[in-house]
Amino acid sequence: QVQLVESGGGSVQAGGSLRLSCAASGYTYNNNVMMAWFRQAPGKEREGVAASYGDSGRPYYSASVEGRFTISPDNAKNTVYLQMDSLLPEDTAMYYCAADTQRKFGRSWDDPLRYDYWGQGTQVSVSS
């Protein structure tokens, strides 16, 4: 059974940094499967933040985070990281990692319906 466990969330001031981790079990990361980070703020839809095919794949970023966030899969550790720098109050949300183990290429990387496994989420709060 596949499980994804996020960690690393917390409260920081604007301009600060956090590093999120997503550790997988029951599943082996590889370069053929998309791993992604999403976030959801209260009253808003779940939003794709970043995604990548393994540790040698091209990364994808939403326009709102490009240049500030970096996704870093580590196939050997079965873990994907999200380095978040220059955080803004609007980055406040619950952050989830997700895995597309069924290779739903017909859906965009930022479409939640692409992903069949999700973690429980980790809260990120950024104060001004």
Instruction: Give the β-pairing of 79-84 and 59-61.
Output: unpaired
Q: Which are the contacts of 88, defined by CB distance < 8 A and separation ≥ 6?
A: 14, 126
Phi-psi label, residue 95: left if phi above 0, alpha if psi -120 to 50, beta otherwise: beta
Predicted pLDDT of residue 56 = 75
Residue 124 carries which DSSP code? E
Output the tens digit of pLDDT for each of the chain's 128 residues.
889 999 999 999 999 999 999 999 887 777 777 899 999 999 999 999 999 987 777 899 999 999 999 999 988 898 999 999 999 999 999 999 999 988 877 899 999 999 999 999 999 999 99
Q: What's the gap between Cα 74 and its chain centre?
A: 13
Predicted pLDDT of residue 45 = 96
Residue 26 carries which DSSP code? S
Predicted pLDDT of residue 55 = 72
